[in-house]
Amino acid sequence: MNTAQIDRAIRLFPCFSCVPHDQWKSAELVTVTPATPHAIREGHIFQHAMFIVGGSIRVYKISPSGREITLYRVQSGECCVLMMASILGETEYEANISIEAETDVLLFPVEQFRDWMADFKMIRQFIYKQIIERMTRVTGLLENVAFNPVPYRIADYLISHSALPLPSTLRITHEQLAVELGTSREVVSRILKDFANKEAIALSRGQISILNPGILKTVLEKHM
């Protein structure tokens, strides 16, 4: 990596400012796209620690029946905490990765990164903070899946992703929404049709328009 690339990385990840420049020789900055082949699936053994400099990746699980659920996304200035657990624990990766957009990834050889974790407090603090924040969100996701019915979860998703002024349009298919929530497309389509009949939303190909969030909020209130 050249000096400009190192400076860019440090701006996004100040924790690496403690690393002397001569220890960056093995670091790489690569660009990947949704079309880039990769093998990061459950069971993967990492050779590099990865940090997102720009773009977005989706981390998800697949059930034995083949159904997907999104755990979280990793975006600029973040790292995948399940990947960190795999690297530091020297275990297989417990999730799958999908590249959602053109993404710049900062790579460090695993052995070097483990040495940095031992040597630099700032890096340890950053990683532990990421783990705590991400695990809190994943715990919330699991509670939502376990305790809230699908209509509640769909209404909650639509409200949380809408914006003023109305109508607010989300560009998402029924299949994509099912993947986000860990349910089936058929269930999502049935519930969205019911919301549309109540004039809470309007449906068109590949998008959902929020017309009346108040109706959606009544769905949430019924299950509180």
- Shared-domain flag, residues 38 and 67: yes
Task: Assess whether pLDDT exceeds 80 at residue 200.
Answer: yes
**Residue partners of 47: CB distance under 8 A and separation at least 6:** 109, 110
Residues across the chain: 224
Q: What is the pLDDT of residue 143?
A: 85
Q: 3-state DSSP call for residue 99?
A: strand
- Shared-domain flag, residues 119 and 154: no
pLDDT band at 224 (very low <50, low <70, confident <90, very high): low
Q: What is the domain extent for residue 157? A: 148-222
For residues 120-127, average pLDDT: 97
pLDDT band at 123 (very low <50, low <70, confident <90, very high): very high
- Shared-domain flag, residues 79 and 188: no
Structure tokens at 34: 């949704």
Segment 124-155, tens digit of pLDDT: 999 999 999 998 888 888 888 888 999 999 99
* CB 43, CB 93: distance < 8 Å: yes
- Shared-domain flag, residues 113 and 17: yes
Q: 3-state DSSP call for residue 143?
A: helix
CA 151 → CA 70, 112, 121, 147, 224, distances in Å?
A: 18, 47, 45, 12, 13
Of 146, 165, 200, the position where a domain reaches its end is: 146
Of 127, 146, 165, the position where a domain reaches its end is: 146
Structure tokens at 37: 């082949």
Q: What is the pLDDT of residue 158?
A: 94
**pTM of the full structure:** 0.82
* CATH code where residue 38 lies: 2.60.120.10
Segment 75-105, tens digit of pLDDT: 999 999 999 999 999 999 999 999 999 999 9
Of 146, 162, 180, the position where a domain reaches its end is: 146
Q: What is the pLDDT of residue 81?
A: 95
Q: Please give the residue that has the higher pLDDT: either 189 or 1.
A: 189
Q: How many domains does the chain have?
A: 2
Segment 153-185, tens digit of pLDDT: 999 999 998 887 778 899 999 999 999 998 999
Backbone angles phi, psi at 155, to 5 degrees: -60, -40
Burial, 85: exposed, middle or buried (Cβ in 10 Å; 0-12, 13-18, 19+)? middle
- Shared-domain flag, residues 126 and 156: no
